[in-house]
Structure 1
Amino acid sequence: MLNGDAFSTNAFSIELGKFQVETVRDVSGLTLEQDVVETRQVTPTGELLIRKQPGARRTGEITVTRGMDKSTAFTDWIKATLVNADLDSARQNITISLKDAKKNTVRRIHLSNAWASRWQGPSLGAGDSSTATEQVTITYEDLTIE
């Protein structure tokens, strides 16, 4: 791949704790935000002075869309929070690795203390020929990019 070229494909992988998540179709919502603190003051001449500065960093959420397959590790992790209410053991660090056309990792995004906060099953229809997918909303405490 030449320098400056955009990714030729959307190749990525997701590691949840110690295992790789299979059959991921889509990851959305990767954002890094922080609050903006606005301070208003009046100068000695009576002029309004507005200053903005960075505030606290915000936590976030991503949505993972994946195929309904026989993989149990990711499903067990989802159940740990949403069914068993065991948030302490369910908190995991997640790494999303972005890859180039040759499958070399070019960037990693780390989500700290992540847990599944929502699960949505597939839309089922008798005449529908699309694949069955599930969506999982994952809440995390911090995001770092390397």
Structure 2
Amino acid sequence: MTSYHLDLGETRTEDLANILNLTLDDETVDIDEFVTSDTDSSRPRPGELVLMRGDSHHPAASAWLNDVEDTSTHQDVVIIAGDPTSPRTRRIHLTNAWATWTFDRDDDNDDEADAIGIAFDDITLK
């Protein structure tokens, strides 16, 4: 299984425990297979996935979650598949992404979501 990291910009990342339920055009796709594929699409591929956060929550990621929990806030998201320090590591770009739901194990701390559902208008690999 590949390790995944949320790219927070300015060389900051947060380790993700997992990425689940990647769907593209209503078809379930294995995220590890998608990352190793060379598929390139000339048409947008809308979809959804679930980001499972690790034990260590970066403050920038928590702030980002607060922003995207507002479903009217859409932004591009980058997920790093593998070593975030390697320039050859593949990056998953989610275009015009927004949160569809969040889950907190501890309801007393709303800015520390443990899982977040993300919908997007397109997905590309670089």
TM-score range, shorter chain: 0.5 to 0.7
Give me the CA root mean square deviation.
3.5
Is the partner of 2:22 in helix, strand or coil? Answer: coil
Q: 1:19 to 1:62 in 2, by over 3 A?
A: farther
CA distance in 2, matches of 1:86, 1:98: 26
Q: 1:133 to 1:75 in 2, by over 3 A?
A: closer
Q: 1:81 to 1:109 in 2, by over 3 A?
A: closer
Give yes or no for contact 2:7–2:14 (8 Å, CA) kept in 1: no
Larger-Rg structure: 1
Q: Which 5+ residue runs of structure 1 have no aligned equivalent?
A: 1-8, 36-55, 125-131
Which of the residues 24, 29, 32 maps onto 2:21? 29
Which of the residues 92, 105, 109 maps onto 1:122? 105
Aligned length: 106
Q: 1:20 to 1:112 in 2, by over 3 A?
A: farther
Counterpart of 2:123? 143
How far 1:19 moved relative to its partner? 6.5
Give yes or no for contact 2:102–2:116 (8 Å, CA) kept in 1: yes
Identity across aligned pairs (percent)? 26
Report the structure, 1 or 2, having the larger strand content: 1
Q: TM-score, normalised by structure 2?
A: 0.61
How far 1:145 moved relative to its partner? 2.0
Q: Which 5+ residue runs of structure 2 have no aligned equivalent?
A: 28-42
How far 1:121 moved relative to its partner? 1.1
